[in-house]
Structure 1
Amino acid sequence: MQLQSVHHIAIICSNYEASKAFYTDILGFSIKNEVYRKDRDSYKLDLALNNQYKIELFSFPNPPKRVSQPEAAGLRHIAFGVKNLEESLQYLDSKNITHEGVRIDPFTNKKFTFFNDPDNLPIELYEL
């Protein structure tokens, strides 16, 4: 087996409209496809970044809560590279998105920080 790339990240949200707005209006993903699956009372939204398919956003009725702090067992977080972290944080501030202060990676000396999506999923911004 030779893995070629990460194909997509699947996220189950508790409030479809809030998460759809967050990932499209705030983070700038474009919608590739949106399907309502009546038999599951569920939406599936395919999202792209820079025209590359990246996230499947799902809604299900009453999804169970789970621990989502960056140090919890399981998927730790998703991370996006940015050219300028300070500009990105100013943008998040303008959208009233709460975030941590800037951290410095002790191994690379690169700047990074965390914020959360509407379901408290940790998202990292990492300066390239």
Structure 2
Amino acid sequence: MTLLAGIHHVAVIASDYARSRDFYTRILGLQVIAENHRPQRDSWKLDLRLPDGSQLELFSFPDPPARPSRPEARGLRHLAFRVDALDAVVAHLQSEGVACEPIRVDEYTGRRFTFFADPDDLPLELYETA
């Protein structure tokens, strides 16, 4: 019996909501599902959809503490996005001023991948599946 059917969403807390909103919607092209301000928490919540139906929730909170991410801190290591044409996505990101690491090949699957970062330096991966 399979208990889990898939990933519904990943939640990200941004230090600069407007900058991260622009990054995830305009640069990465995620579709806005809903956007709500929660005045009791002085917080924004933005629900975003990827083409496969999975979602990313973008939150803002006043003065969120920094989270260590490198080198290899405990916890979530990175968020990987599946792409069909890695070179085209990397070219798009670079045209928007987003730095990408050199493309590597997964030694176990033979698939190509690279890493880049969101505005809060959250490590993101592009993993070519086509």
Q: 1:123 to 1:71 in 2, by over 3 A?
A: same
- Check whether the contact 1:70–1:122 (CA below 8 A) recurs between aligned residues: no
Kindly indicate whether residue 22 of structure 2 is the aligned counterpart of residue 14 of structure 1. Answer: no
- Check whether the contact 1:105–1:112 (CA below 8 A) recurs between aligned residues: yes
Q: Partners in 1 of 2:52 and 2:27 — Cα distance?
A: 17
Q: Partners in 2 of 1:110 and 1:12 — Cα distance?
A: 30
* Matched AA of 1:12: I
TM-score by length of 2: 0.94
Q: Partners in 2 of 1:108 and 1:72 — Cα distance?
A: 25
Q: Gapped runs of 5+ residues in structure 1?
A: none
Q: Partners in 1 of 2:71 and 2:29 — Cα distance?
A: 23
Once the two structures are superposed, residues 24-67 of structure 1 have per-residue CA deviations (whole angstroms, 9 ceiling, x without a partner) of 00000011001100010000000001272411110000000011
TM-score by length of 1: 0.95
1:71 is displaced (CA, Å) by 2.2
Number of equivalent positions: 128
Give the equivalent residue in structure 2 for 1:24: 25
- Check whether the contact 1:70–1:76 (CA below 8 A) recurs between aligned residues: no
Q: Partners in 1 of 2:71 and 2:46 — Cα distance?
A: 25
Question: Is the partner of 2:40 in helix, strand or coil?
Answer: helix
